[in-house]
Amino acid sequence: MNVGFIGVGKLGKDAAEVMAEEHNVIGYDISEVQPENFKMVPTIKEVCDGRDLIFVAVPTPHHPDYDGRYPTSHLENKDFNYGIVKEVLVEVNKHVSKDQLIVLISTVLPGTIRREFIELIPNGRFIYNPYLIAMGTVKWDMVNPEMIIIGTKDGSETGDAKLLLDFYKTFISEETRYELGTWDEAEGIKIFYNTFISTKVALVNMIQDVAEKSGNINTDVITGALERSTYRILGPAYMKAGMGDGGGCHPRDNIALRYMAQELGLGYDLFDAIMLAREVQAKNIATKLVVESNKYNLPIIILGQSYKPDVEYLDGSSSILVGHYCESTYRGKYKVQYDLETPIKGVYLLGHMGKHHDYDFPDGSVVLDPWRSYKTDRDVKVIHYGNTRIG
């Protein structure tokens, strides 16, 4: 294929050189760059002329104060700076047609493309394709990526998505998996992949801090045991978003560790943030239930009062926590009911994953499913909480 590559910098140069081993690549950058196996051109117009694919790999920087070399937690929150991407897309739009596919790989926050970029490039076709590559191993990562992320307008495998997949298959390892979603979902996969790593590193390093403060602990013994725990911690378990963590151990363990962080003087408290997130997430579900309840003047019923399916224990029940916030928001209008044996018309929350799908919901009821799996032909409004795809 004929490929144009805009942004031949510390990551883009190696990426484009890998492509050039199989395809006809030309590049453009504002700096003087000397690639190994493709030529550079002096203008964006020239890098677009006659190209099937035009990759845009320009930076979305923060101010230098935010790069992590110095403390940042005290600074105001800031989005990436999208100025460079916008300038490039506006210029690219002047020189492309619908016969050409523009592929953006720059890191952006979810919603950015739909909100800020897509209107800038009406003349060409567009796809989002962020990379998971690291400095020092760019070429290896290009050929052996953990996944290829592709974002289209509606998340479907369009002709453009297939074109890009076929392009990558010419030089990427055969076992590579391909993850397809909307622009917003692809943006989320990239950014949350990175933040999962940051969270994991922070948690592991926290064990190190506890060892130093508490004594008589070899950090590697603890992290080694966790590393080998492939059933829940490192496997696919708990990767289904839904109700909050519960039971007689997890919430209270986090609460106890908040005390430990204070007593040891760690100077930070990840556990407090975890518990706050759990509570706010429960309150968000409760707010959705109350909105639906007020809209249709119906009571709220929660199916699954226990902390997990097929047990009777209520310890740490996230369903009860949601119910608490519902009643707080209601201000006495209704009392939340749980696990009714005789169904009534109401707003229902499915508190347990995969359960209560055969419940006899009365016509006119609302069913909020935070697991996004319940389907029915009945006269029931089903809300798949957490799925906000447009269209």
pTM of the shown model: 0.81
Which residue has tokens 């992590």?
68
What pLDDT tens digit does each residue of the chain (391 aa) get?
Answer: 999 999 999 899 999 999 999 999 999 999 998 999 999 999 999 999 999 999 999 998 887 777 666 677 777 877 888 999 999 999 999 999 999 999 999 999 899 999 999 999 999 999 999 999 888 889 999 999 999 999 999 998 889 999 999 999 999 999 999 999 999 999 999 989 988 888 888 888 888 888 878 888 888 899 999 999 998 888 887 778 889 888 877 777 777 778 878 888 989 888 888 888 899 999 999 999 999 999 999 999 999 999 889 888 888 899 999 999 999 887 767 789 999 999 999 999 999 998 999 999 999 999 999 999 999 999 999 999 999 887 6
Q: In what order do the strands lie in the sheet with 366-369?
A: 337-338, 300-303, 347-350, 366-369, 381-384
C-alpha angle 117/129/134, rounded to 5°? 115
Q: How far apart are CA 110 and CA 107, in angstroms?
A: 10
DSSP-derived secondary structure letter, 386: T
> CB atoms < 10 A from the CB of 150, how many?
27
CA 354 to centroid of chain Cα atoms: 23
CA distance 207 to 219: 6
Q: How many CA atoms lie within 13 A of 155 on its CB side?
A: 14
CB 352: neighbour CB atoms within 10 A? Answer: 19
Q: Is-contact 269 262, C-beta < 8 A?
A: yes
Domains of the chain: 2-186 (3.40.50.720), 275-384 (3.40.50.720)
